[in-house]
Amino acid sequence: MTATLPIKTLLVFDAAMKHSSFTLAARELHVTPGAVGQQIGRLEEWLGTTLFTRSVRQVRPTPEALNYWATVQPALSRILQASDALRQRQSNEVWLSMPPTMAAKWFAPRMADFLSKHPDISLHLDTSTALADFSRDRVDLAIRYFDGADPELEAELLYRDEARLYCSPAYVKKLKLRTPDDLKRAMLIHTTFHPHWNQWMERFSHLSAAQVKSIPGLHLDQALMAIEAARHGQGAVLCSALLTEVEIRDGSLIEPFTGRLELSKAFYVTHHKATVLRPAALSLKKWLLSLPAD
């Protein structure tokens, strides 16, 4: 055993613990799973204890590994943050995270405006349904859809949200949708982003809970897919006006009814409270918050 702790093995160990997989850790570190296994073996030899139990298709951390990781992981995060902050302090790069549908439907048409106003800034866009972890991920700013309450985040309101009902004009005509009660003849498109059909129906229709429950539904996990389904006449969808701008402009979607359900969640520009934004990130934040609300 060498006297000096092999520091590199801690980064490999951290990745393996985070993913509970040597394969996924290898993918993150751009090495082979075998290389991950070798580094974990070196650390186990140095510590004198087993950190993972290996089987044919999976690895599992031992209790010793869980306790060890709980101690060293916060220190590793601080080292990585300090190193990255020092390296990036004068950088004109900025990393922005947001949900995929928002990136495609709302941000993409506006992105050129920011880049034209800040040609010296290199923008990196991460689109994921997973929440960005400011303590671990390379991200300066994130647009999050939540209630704005998080003690660790600086959250400034970007847009308030409503659940609005959209259909294609042909679908409205085909089903003769004149009042919300007529939706008993429709297909309701449900999404994890706006799961508000029961509340919308209770407020704007006269249908009973049993009648609403009997209406057939299509369940999709992505708002982008739900918008496309509605645009192609597959049903009615509840969605944000923020995500249907193009379809409303080109007439492929309409609001057949005036009922709009106010929501407690909204779109916020967020970053960690402890973070001092670099000039590039600050410019992006100011630009985002300057965008008109309509």
What residue segments make up the domains of the chain, in order of their start?
7-88, 91-294
**Per-residue pLDDT band at 52 (split at 50, 70, 90):** very high
| Residue whose tokens read 């590199």 | 8
Structure confidence at residue 268 (pLDDT): 96
State the CATH class of domain 7-88. mainly alpha
**Which residues are CB-neighbours of 289 under 8 A, at least 6 positions away?**
156, 158, 269
Amino acid found at 23? T
CB 43 within 8 A of CB 69: no
Give the lowest-confidence range in 75-89, 159-173, 215-229: 75-89
Burial 69-83 (b: 16+ CB within 10 A, else e): beeebeebeeeebee
Could you tell me what percentage of the chain is helix, strand and coil, using 3-state DSSP and rounding each to the nearest 5? 45, 20, 30
Residue 142 has pLDDT above 80, yes or no: yes
Give the number of other Cβ atoms within 10 Å of residue 223's Cβ: 25
| Residue whose tokens read 């609403």 | 212
| Residue whose tokens read 């943050």 | 81
Mean pLDDT of 10-36: 91
Structure confidence at residue 77 (pLDDT): 83
CATH topology of domain 91-294: D-Maltodextrin-Binding Protein; domain 2 (3.40.190)
**Per-residue pLDDT band at 4 (split at 50, 70, 90):** confident
Top mean pLDDT of 54-63, 144-153, 229-238, 273-282 is at 229-238
Q: Do the bridges between strand 236-239 and strand 188-191 make them parallel or antiparallel, or are there none, so unpaired?
A: parallel
Structure confidence at residue 124 (pLDDT): 93
Mean pLDDT of 111-131: 90
Structure confidence at residue 294 (pLDDT): 61
What is the value of pTM for the model shown?
Answer: 0.68
Structure confidence at residue 250 (pLDDT): 96
